[in-house]
Structure 1
Amino acid sequence: MTALVTVLAVDDQRLVREGITSLLGLSSTIDVIGEASDGAEALAMVLADRPDVVLLDLRMPKFDGVWFLDRLAERGIAVPCLVLTTFDDDEQVLAAVRADARGYLLKDVSLETVTEAIRVLAAGGLYLHPSATEGLVGALREFPERDAPVRPLPEPLTSRERDVLRLMAAGLTNRQIAQTLFLAEGTVKNHVSQILVKLDSSDRTNAVLRALRRGLLS
Structure 2
Amino acid sequence: MVDWSPFFISMKTASLSIVITFFLGLIIAWGIVKLKNDSLKIILDGIFTLPLVLPPTVVGFFLLYLIGVKGPIGSFFIEFFAIKIAFSWPATVIAAVVMSFPLMYRSARGAFEQVDPNLLDAGRTLGMSEWKIFWKVLFANALPGIISGGILAYARGLGEFGASLMIAGNIAGRTRTLPMAVYSDVAAGNMGNAIDYVLIIVFIAFIAIFIMDFISIRKEKQWRY
Structure of greater Rg: 2
* Normalised TM-score (structure 1): 0.26
TM-score norm. by structure 2 comes to: 0.25
**Which protein is richer in helix relative to its size?**
2
Normalized per residue, the structure richer in strand is 1
